Structure 1
Amino acid sequence: MVRAVRKYRPNRRGRIKLARWLRVALLRLMACAAAGFATVLVGVPSITEGENRALIVAIPLAWACLLWRGSLIKVVLGPGALVVFGMWSRALVPCVVVKRLGEDPDALRSLLVLETQQGEQVDFGWFAGSLWDFLYDFTGVCTDAMRFHIRTERHLPKGAPVRLERRYNWSLVADSFAIATVACLGAALYLAVR
């Protein structure tokens, strides 16, 4: 069973996703529960009207946004590059610019760090420590997969960037929760000063 789980195969786009799927499922369920709770709060007549209602509804919506963003964390092994998705941004790292992928000796706990030829760093601290690590060292499996990918994909695809690029990580669901939170806070502020 362990061998079957460790055999990562590319999807139709030639990409392999390394993610904590149990963590993803739990975080997304919790985000949906928080959004559902906010929806219920909107319809409860016993909550005070006006700014207090808007403020109370904004809190679970903010939690829903944060939880959903936490579920976006993953590493995608694509043609010629690693794409590291964090909560707020993603880093596109071409394999040709990777200098080292290993543990950071200066870290308080064991952290996997990728260093580029230009000296830029991407850490994978959020990727370590899970139930799967306890069962069969999932972090080690992911590290081996990334190292193998870097070794075998040292060519640059046509039109690919030649250095590490960081961009904002867009998410339709998380950004919708964030917009709803800001709208509720704006409504609460407007009703408070009116």
Structure 2
Amino acid sequence: MSSGLGQAGVNAWYGPATPWVRRVRSYRPNRRGRLVLRRWLRVILLRVFALCAVAGAVGVLSAGPAERLFVAAVVLVSAAFWWRCSLIRIVLRPGEIVRYSVFRHVVIPAGAVRRLHRDSWRGGLLLETHAGEEVDFFWFDGSLWDVLYDFSAVCVDAMTAHTQRPGSKQHAPSSAALVRRFTWTPVGDLLALSAVACLVAGVIAQP
């Protein structure tokens, strides 16, 4: 059971429920007028891995020899990568869809969206613009968690409803181009810089 914003109103929409979890959940924008879609179980696990890696790096650094600095650098790099993976999300904000991946995010004007489809060779969810550009939503599609709550369909319904909101095309005309930018993250970047510092310190400490 599902219905879009056109039926439920512009401030709420109702995602589908599976046979295991028969419920209707309302999603509303946050204080900034944005709707954020994340796979929270994945986010929590990845951040736990990152924090455990940081703890392991601290333990390695406190053990002594300079060679351990290289080990700590590798561990901190993995922590930075896991933290970045936890940033993967979809943000629906007025006139735009923003897809965050590990290192970059792409801003898609809502008016430029032509369709969402699974016509690719691997069957993953793709967003196609009027200009023929495609954006992959692989990380938001086909999770085992969908057995309990069909989050993949929730993402599709949310993005479809968002592009059909009144005023979307006025905010972002179909001729608008996609914008791709590097994603800065204070925690992930600090971990990466710490890894570089350990590597440099290890090189300097070598006899």
Smaller-chain TM-score bracket: 0.7 to 0.9
| Within-5 A mapping of 1:3-42 | 3-4=23-24, 6-42=25-61
Higher helix fraction (1 or 2)? 1
Q: Deviations over 1:5-38 (max 9, x none)?
A: x311110111101110111011111101101110
Q: Deviations over 1:16-73 (max 9, x none)?
A: 011101110111111011011101111124xxx22x1110111110110010000000
Determine the structure 2 residue equivalent to 1:127.
140
C-alpha change, 1:140 and 1:81, in structure 2 (3 Å) is same
2:187 to 164, 173, 177: 173
Determine the structure 2 residue equivalent to 1:182.
196
Aligned length: 184
Structure 1: 5+ residue runs without aligned partners? none
Q: Distance in 2 between matches of 1:166 and 1:74?
A: 15
Q: What is the one-letter code of the residue matched to 2:34?
A: R
1:66 to 81, 90, 111: 81
Determine the structure 2 residue equivalent to 1:43.
62
Determine the structure 2 residue equivalent to 1:85.
100
Structure 2: 5+ residue runs without aligned partners? 1-20
Q: Distance in 1 between matches of 2:188 and 2:121?
A: 31
Q: Distance in 2 between matches of 1:163 and 1:156?
A: 14
> Does the CA-based 8 Å contact 1:94-1:156 persist in structure 2?
no
TM-score, length basis structure 2: 0.82
Determine the structure 1 residue equivalent to 2:17.
none
TM-score, length basis structure 1: 0.88
Identity within the alignment, %:
42
Q: What is the one-letter code of the residue matched to 2:190?
A: S
Q: Deviations over 1:119-167 (max 9, x none)?
A: 2211011122334212132101111111111111523439xx9321000
Please state if 1:95 is matched with 2:110.
yes
